[in-house]
Structure 1
Amino acid sequence: MPGTGVGSAAHHHRRETPMAERGDESLVHTLKKVAAVLKQEEIPFALGGSFAVYAHGGHSSDHDVDFLIREVDVERSLEALVAAGFTAERPPEDWLVKVFDDGRMVDLIHRPIETPVTEETFADTVVRPVDAIHMPVLSASQLMVHKLLSFSQHYCDFARGLPLARSLREQIDWERVRKETQHSPYAEAFLVLLDRLEVVPHSGTGEGEGTP
């Protein structure tokens, strides 16, 4: 699945994040197993979450394994992964399913931030090496949008978003982020915080992916 080159302007400045900073090596092994199964079954997917941040050379406060898939591919994905030795779980939340590899959890998300995964989602990816395996990874801008729109009155831990914003700020199209999160007061507050911390200006032209 080809990437679109999003973030290519910062490609030469991207640094590989050391394995020690990417959490448990066993999680990386599990991630690679899931990606291999989905590739073999020709199921479209994109890597999201903290390991997508690491793939872009950034830093994250979390150590979670998230894959984005289309809802139409959920059953086929579960069948293939169970056949490969994973165990499956259907949580009460209706926007994802989970699989486990010796207790290590992987989220298969088909509706992040209340938006279905579509071909447009996969178009907004970049092919990156993840521990020597190349796979489509959500763009830095989309990762930032997802993080900001996850903030709500029930969950609003800005400390979880700061490492992503700081480490990938040159790869993020901040004008796009502002536009796609403008309906969220929590996202707006986070962007004001980034301005006060001099991470990025609260308004004006960004220097990320969308800059010619």
Structure 2
Amino acid sequence: MTTEPTRHRPPPVEYFPPRNTVSMDELLQTLTRVVNSLTHAEIPFAVAGGCAVYARGGPPSGHDVDIFLRRTDVAPALAVLQQNGMRRVDPPEDWLVKAYDGDILVDLIFSASGREITDELLARAPRMRIGSAHAPVVTATDLMIDKLNVLDAHRCDFVPMLQIARDLREQVGWSEVADKTESSPYARAFLGLLDDLSIASPKSS
């Protein structure tokens, strides 16, 4: 008697929550509202994530707005955004808080990949034009450190990272990136790939 081999069925579609994708114009409108709200309230911050990549000449983002700020400024920042019509959400994570501007997510991040957001990190973020907003934007080096430090066994897609690295390579201090990500085998593998592809060489920067 033969038995049919066990087949591994893929999880149902509903197992994978739909990812909210919006246009860059919609993201920039939300970003402008966030920037204006925090600026008028005199809360120090810096634009991070995909919007920062876009501001620095990288590919457009289609997901959410990321803002770096100090832990002590989280409560007043949330209050200001709520006063301007945004909806607060309390996530399970202990390194950020969230708000929604309509359907667009705004992440207020006070600890990025285990690095506390400090006055020094915010102070080195230059002011740049992003759409109609003029705001501090994290340096390309800090941006790359953050993106590499989030890589793990469940988030190890090098494809979008390669495009970002190509577009921003002349703005990045690669030796500092290597120093700040040396504990991650995924980051080391990615930096080795950049070296092999002659995109960037941490050893010579």
Kindly, what percent of the aligned residue pairs are identical? 42
Uncovered stretches (5+) of structure 1, i.e. residues with no partner: 1-21, 207-212
Describe the SS at the equivalent of 2:64.
coil
User: Greater CA deviation, 33-42 or 61-70?
Assistant: 61-70
Which has the greater radius of gyration?
2
Spell out the pairing of 1:1-212 with structure 2 (5 A cutoff). 23-59=23-59, 63-201=63-201, 203-206=202-205
Q: Distance in 2 between matches of 1:33 and 1:100?
A: 12
Map Cα deviations across residues 64-83 of structure 1 (whole Å, 9 max, x no partner): 31001111111111111111
Contact 2:24–2:60 (8 Å) recurs in 1: no
Q: Distance in 1 between matches of 2:133 and 2:149?
A: 29
Contact 1:89–1:97 (8 Å) recurs in 2: yes
Amino acid in the other structure paired with 1:26 = E
Q: Shift of residue 132 of structure 1?
A: 3.0
Q: Shift of residue 87 of structure 1?
A: 0.3
Describe the SS at the equivalent of 1:161.
helix
Contact 1:49–1:143 (8 Å) recurs in 2: yes
Q: Larger relative contact order (C-alpha < 8 A, sep ≥ 6)?
A: 1
Partner of 1:209: none
Q: Distance in 2 between matches of 1:163 and 1:58?
A: 8
What is the RMSD computed on CA atoms of the aligned residues?
1.5
Q: Distance in 2 between matches of 1:87 and 1:189?
A: 39
Amino acid in the other structure paired with 1:52 = A
Q: Shift of residue 62 of structure 1?
A: 5.4
TM-score, length basis structure 1: 0.82
Contact 1:148–1:181 (8 Å) recurs in 2: yes
CA change 1:45–1:72 in 2 (3 A) is same
Amino acid in the other structure paired with 1:128 = M
How many pairs does the alignment contain? 184
Uncovered stretches (5+) of structure 2, i.e. residues with no partner: 1-21
TM-score, length basis structure 2: 0.85
Amino acid in the other structure paired with 1:196 = D
Partner of 2:3: none
Partner of 2:7: none
Contact 1:61–1:163 (8 Å) recurs in 2: no
CA change 1:204–1:62 in 2 (3 A) is farther
Q: Distance in 1 between matches of 2:166 and 2:42?
A: 35
